[in-house]
């Protein structure tokens, strides 16, 4: 899925499949040389997996399967496994996990919504859990349900190292859109992950988060001096 806001079962299945496929193909070889496969970034991992599936001859291939030797289980005796077999094994692994209590707790894929697993917690720039969004007592499980994945416009990167899929390492980020049209001035839209007042006691502590950020909406931001002056709510004049 590559659409912003995607919350379908397909997103959950893909991310779970990626976890198991990486473990079944790359992990055993890298373990043998004492290298943690998860030290490779998501960008590197997805490029390797993509190349294995679309350009297998760019890898060392097995003479019998004509597929990358990486797909074989290094510790298992007998004929080498093919990537075709491992693709199906990883899919079975993913579906089994997602229908388990650790996933969605049901085999009904109509109930599988990515946001139930992919949840976002925003932490302040200085460590104070009391100021986290959402607050620890506000949500169970912790975090806001988030649509979107690694390939969406509003990137939601859960990583593939584990099957938790929560997002909290990236922290808050301003969404910024600049629109440039021929013959017109640049216009700017924002989406801010918080509020207009940095005080949890205020109803405005998270008003921008709820109204815009979590719903993938953006508001107009004054860009030129004239726009800033016109949008100002109050002014101080010094003599």
DSSP annotation string for 99-161: HSTTTTSSS-GGG--HHHH-EE-B--SS--GGG-BS-TTT-SSSSEE----TTSSS-----SS
Alpha-carbon span 98 to 28, nearest angstrom: 24
- Amino acid 39: pLDDT: 94
Q: What is the pLDDT of residues 5-44, one digit of tens each?
A: 467 888 899 999 999 999 999 999 999 999 999 999 888 9
Bridge partner list, 219:
190
pTM of this structure: 0.76
Rounded distance between C-alpha atoms, residue 61 and residue 58, angstroms: 8
**Tell me: the pLDDT tens digits for 60-80?**
999 888 999 999 988 888 888
- Cα–Cα distance list, 208 to 106, 107, 127, 197, 226 (Å): 35, 37, 21, 10, 24
The answer to whether 231 and 222 are in contact (CB under 8 A) is yes
SS3 187: strand
Tokens standing for residue 93 = 């692994």
pLDDT given for residue 90 in this prediction: 97
34-43 pLDDT, tens digit per residue, is 999 999 988 8
Tokens of 76: 């298992």
Q: Can you give the pLDDT at residue 177?
A: 80
The tokens for 146 are 């988030």
Give Cα separations from 84 to 20, 88, 138, 160 (angstroms). Answer: 14, 7, 45, 21
Are the beta carbons of 176 and 188 closer than 8 angstroms?
yes
pLDDT tens digits for range 148-190: 766 665 666 778 999 988 876 555 566 778 888 898 888 888 8
Which residues, at least 6 apart from 230, have a Cβ–Cβ distance to it below 8 Å?
222
pLDDT digit string (tens) for 122-154?
Answer: 777 776 777 777 876 665 567 888 777 666 656
Q: Beta 219-221 vs 187-191: how paired, if at all?
A: antiparallel
Is residue 101 pLDDT above 60, yes or no?
yes
Cβ atoms of residues 133 and 121 within 8 Å: yes
Checking if the pLDDT of 197 tops 50, the result is yes
| List of residues 6+ apart from 2 with CB closer than 8 A | 151, 152
Report residue 225 as tokens.
Answer: 């001096």
Band (1; pLDDT cuts 50, 70, 90): very low
């Amino acid at each position: 899925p590559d659409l912003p806001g995607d919350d379908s079962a397909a997103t959950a299945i893909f991310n779970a499949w990626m976890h198991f496929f990486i473990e079944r193909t790359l992990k055993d070889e890298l373990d043998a040389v004492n290298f943690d496969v998860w030290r490779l970034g998501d960008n590197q991992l997805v490029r390797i997996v993509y190349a294995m599936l679309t350009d297998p001859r760019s890898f060392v291939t097995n003479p019998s399967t004509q597929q990358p030797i990486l797909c074989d289980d290094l510790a298992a005796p007998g004929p080498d496994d093919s990537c075709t077999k491992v693709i199906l094994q990883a899919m079975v692994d993913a579906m089994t996990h997602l229908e388990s209590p650790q996933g969605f707790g049901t085999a009904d894929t109509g109930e599988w919504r990515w946001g139930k697993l992919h949840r976002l917690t925003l932490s302040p720039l200085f460590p104070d859990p009391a100021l986290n969004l959402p607050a620890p007592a506000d949500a169970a499980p912790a975090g806001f349900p988030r649509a979107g994945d690694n390939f969406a416009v509003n990137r939601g990167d859960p990583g593939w190292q584990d099957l938790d899929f929560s997002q909290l390492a990236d922290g808050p980020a301003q969404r910024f859109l600049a629109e440039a049209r021929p013959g017109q001035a640049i216009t700017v839209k924002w989406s801010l992950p918080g509020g207009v007042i940095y005080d949890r006691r205020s109803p405005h502590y998270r008003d921008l988060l709820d109204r815009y950020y979590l719903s993938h909406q953006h508001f107009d931001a004054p860009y030129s001096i004239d726009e800033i002056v016109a949008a100002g709510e109050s002014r101080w004049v010094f003599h």
